């Protein structure tokens, strides 16, 4: 080491006045360690440098995990607020017909879905006049078809909430809007004793909005609120 400074005077003065800034800069410290190793020769192993590299790698992984956890927390909070707003909007309706029309309007917009359909099973082949007034929202299907739709004809248990990616045609529940629906959420509904089940279907043109890997707690809550609202109207 020479006593004669070989560094720019201003840079040298800044380092001497605030050496901690140098220690906190990971890139600079890595460069200094690498420079130190190059002076040792090829036959010397710097264990301290190896340990430092491993600690840096572990710190990077922890920081990535930390960012992922924070992002997931914000996403969950945003989803919770979204569901709460949709529930409050759904409860504003004072008439049954308005309640159903709101599903495909303000409620669907709040949930950021492109299509929402209420599916009802019926033993009657022809829907009644009340259903005809809201046929843009309500679909009437034969008994047992809801389970078949959810399971897609497979021998499996029916879950309360099913999330999946789809490719549909105009014969599906989404009708003329089916061509751009790429994912859906199916919420099976229980309207109480001696009543046929129902299903709330949400469709999105985003293939990643509803996937099997996602949690279903919020949609389960929304489906439960919707069930109770429907029971009140059907009473």
What would the pLDDT profile of 67-87 be if each residue is shown by its tens digit? 777 766 767 777 788 899 999
The full length of the chain comes to 235
pLDDT at 200 over 60: yes
Determine the Cα–Cα distance for residues 39 and 150; give it in Å rounded to an integer: 68
pLDDT at 31 over 90: no
Q: Domain segments of the chain: what residues?
A: 11-39+46-84, 91-234
DSSP symbol at 82: H
Furthest-apart CA atoms within the chain: distance in Å = 99
Residues with Cβ < 8 Å from 73, sequence gap 6 or more?
A: none
- Indicate the range of 21-30, 105-114, 212-221 predicted with least confidence: 21-30
Mean pLDDT of the chain: 82
Determine the Cα–Cα distance for residues 125 and 211; give it in Å rounded to an integer: 33
pLDDT at 39: 62
71's tokens: 């992002």
- Indicate the range of 34-48, 90-104, 117-131, 187-201 predicted with least confidence: 34-48
Which pTM does this prediction carry?
Answer: 0.68
125's tokens: 């082949």
1's tokens: 């080491």
For residue 182, name the pLDDT band (cuts at 50, 70, 90).
Answer: very high
C-alpha gyration radius of the chain: 30
Determine the Cα–Cα distance for residues 33 and 12; give it in Å rounded to an integer: 19
pLDDT at 202 over 60: yes
pLDDT at 132 over 70: no
pLDDT at 66 over 90: no
The listed range with the strongest mean pLDDT (20-29, 53-62, 71-80, 108-117) is 108-117
Determine the Cα–Cα distance for residues 166 and 180; give it in Å rounded to an integer: 10
The residue that leads in pLDDT, 71 or 37, is 71
The listed range with the strongest mean pLDDT (21-30, 56-65, 215-224) is 215-224
pLDDT at 35: 66
pLDDT at 6: 66
| Residue pair 202/185 in contact by the 8 Å Cβ criterion | yes
Instruction: Write out the E strands in the chain.
Output: 115-121, 138-141, 161-165, 183-189, 198-204
Three-state helix/strand/coil letters over 178-189: HHHCCEEEEEEE
pLDDT at 2: 53
Q: What average pLDDT score do residues 19-24 get?
A: 72
Return the CATH class of domain 91-234.
Answer: alpha beta
Determine the Cα–Cα distance for residues 200 and 64; give it in Å rounded to an integer: 37
Determine the Cα–Cα distance for residues 53 and 41; give it in Å rounded to an integer: 19
For residue 41, name the pLDDT band (cuts at 50, 70, 90).
Answer: low
pLDDT at 21 over 80: no
């Amino acid at each position: 080491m020479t006593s004669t400074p070989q560094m720019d005077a201003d840079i040298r003065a800044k380092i001497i006045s605030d050496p901690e800034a140098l220690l906190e800069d990971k890139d600079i410290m890595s460069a200094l360690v690498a420079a130190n190793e190059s002076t040792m020769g090829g036959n010397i192993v710097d264990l301290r440098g190896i340990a430092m590299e491993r600690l840096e790698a572990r710190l990077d992984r922890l920081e990535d995990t930390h960012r992922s956890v924070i992002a997931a927390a914000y996403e969950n909070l945003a989803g919770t607020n979204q569901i709460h707003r949709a529930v409050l909007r759904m409860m504003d309706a004072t008439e049954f017909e308005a309640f159903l029309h709101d599903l495909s309007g303000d409620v669907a917009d709040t949930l950021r879905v492109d299509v929402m359909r209420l599916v009802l099973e019926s033993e009657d082949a022809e829907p009644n006049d009340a259903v005809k007034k809201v046929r843009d929202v309500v679909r009437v299907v034969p008994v047992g078809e809801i389970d078949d739709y959810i399971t897609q004809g497979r021998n499996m248990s029916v879950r309360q909430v099913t999330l999946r990616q789809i490719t549909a045609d105009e014969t599906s529940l989404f009708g003329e809007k089916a061509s751009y629906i790429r994912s859906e959420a199916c919420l099976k509904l229980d309207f109480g004793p001696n009543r046929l089940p129902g299903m709330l279907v949400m469709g999105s043109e985003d293939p990643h909005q509803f996937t099997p890997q996602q949690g279903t707690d919020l949609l389960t809550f929304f489906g439960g609120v919707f069930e109770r609202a429907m029971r009140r109207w059907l009473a």
